[in-house]
């Protein structure tokens, strides 16, 4: 007997890619369970599927930086801070270096993060926590179908009590921009190109190079193009070094509300006589609207 739940959850995370650098992503999760009927004549109660399996997925990947541990560009080492890790991703012109609490990372035994590799990882983790009558689990991870412009961004929210505080998690987000009430494909495409695989940092989190906490190897490989950001949050200390070519520093926190306002304000500078409305998304099916 098989049981399915479509659109079980959305995982918002970032991952390291040797070609693209740090990539924000949002995947919708469908689940299919196979097994014998239990004493309640069910494979598994829908309530358990929606709560327990969703919780396992969220704990394993959601709002984390996913690391391909077999990738030759990646080095993971223990920080001097308890339960913190250094992560060095030394790729050509997109090298990124971090320190974060260990819980901010998901380590997957693969050389490349793909829908397939994350699916295999999650299926193993979930199967270990299912009742004996459930013999099989199959996940489908899929990106939202977007008819229009979208971008991938990575960020962190130091004021957030939950997992959004992690300095390198992200989203794949669509954007709608109206100029004087009419949708502007030109403006939407401009921002999709501007924020393609971007890291968004807040100016208030900027620090100097001598203040950043990174591995010794990272410090020896930093370039003049790297900029540095750090903050303390409830889960621990977060540090990141990002090269300028994959970075935009905003004059606000990077909540979706303030990012929508930031985009609207930037557009307004060159279109002072126009009414601008920005509908910015944070992953799938949620976002904020700002007017300027």
* For the chain, domain boundaries: 2-172+198-251
Residue 87: the pLDDT is: 98
Residue 36: the pLDDT is: 66
In this prediction, residues 40-45 reach a mean pLDDT of: 60
Task: Give residue-wise pLDDT tens across range 249-276.
Answer: 999 999 999 999 999 999 999 999 999 9
Cβ-contact 179, 276 below 8 angstroms: yes
pLDDT of 232 > 70? The answer is: yes
* Rounded distance between C-alpha atoms, residue 223 and residue 253, angstroms: 26
Residue 142: the pLDDT is: 97
* Torsion sign (Cα): 265, 271, 277, 282: negative
pLDDT of 51 > 70? The answer is: yes
Could you tell me what percent of the chain has a pLDDT over 90?
86
Residue 41: the pLDDT is: 58
Beta strands in 195-286 (DSSP E): 198-202, 206-207, 226-233, 236-243, 247-250, 276-281
Task: Give residue-wise pLDDT tens across range 106-133.
Answer: 999 999 999 999 999 999 999 888 776 7
Cβ-contact 89, 39 below 8 angstroms: no
Residue 250: the pLDDT is: 98
Residues contacting residue 60 through CB under 8 Å, at least 6 positions apart = 106, 121, 122, 125
Task: Give residue-wise pLDDT tens across range 182-228.
Answer: 999 999 999 999 999 999 999 999 999 999 999 999 999 999 999 99
Residue 137: the pLDDT is: 85
Residue 20 binned pLDDT confidence (cut-offs 50, 70, 90): very high
CATH superfamily placement of domain 2-172+198-251: 6-pyruvoyl tetrahydropterin synthase/QueD (3.30.479.10)
pLDDT of 11 > 70? The answer is: yes
């Amino acid at each position: 007997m098989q049981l399915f739940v479509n659109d079980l959850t959305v995982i918002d995370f970032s991952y390291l890619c040797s070609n693209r650098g740090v990539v924000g992503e949002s995947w919708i999760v469908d689940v299919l369970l196979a097994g014998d009927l239990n004493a309640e004549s069910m494979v598994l109660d829908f309530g358990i599927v929606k709560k327990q399996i969703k919780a396992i997925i969220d704990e394993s990947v959601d709002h984390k930086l996913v690391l391909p541990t077999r990738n030759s560009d990646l080095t993971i080492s223990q920080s001097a801070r308890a339960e913190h890790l250094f992560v060095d991703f030394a790729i050509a012109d997109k090298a990124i270096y971090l320190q974060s609490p260990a819980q901010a990372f998901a380590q997957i035994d693969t050389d490349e993060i793909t829908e397939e590799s994350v699916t295999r990882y999650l299926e193993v983790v979930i199967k270990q926590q299912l009742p004996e009558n459930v013999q099989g689990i199959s996940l489908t991870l899929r990106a939202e179908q977007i008819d229009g412009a979208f971008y991938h961004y990575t960020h962190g929210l130091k004021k957030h009590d939950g997992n959004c505080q992690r300095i390198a998690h992200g989203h794949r987000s669509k954007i709608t921009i109206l100029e004087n009430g009419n949708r502007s494909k030109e403006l939407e495409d401009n921002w999709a190109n501007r924020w393609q695989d971007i890291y968004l940092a807040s100016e208030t989190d900027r620090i100097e190079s001598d203040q950043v906490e990174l591995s010794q190897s990272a410090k020896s490989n930093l370039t003049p193009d790297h900029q540095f950001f750090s903050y303390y949050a409830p889960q621990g200390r977060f540090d990141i070094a990002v090269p300028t070519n994959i970075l935009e520093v905003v004059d606000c926190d990077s909540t979706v509300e303030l990012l929508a306002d930031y985009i609207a304000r930037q557009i307004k500078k060159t279109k002072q006589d126009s009414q601008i409305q920005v509908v910015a998304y944070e992953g799938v099916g949620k976002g904020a609207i700002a007017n300027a």
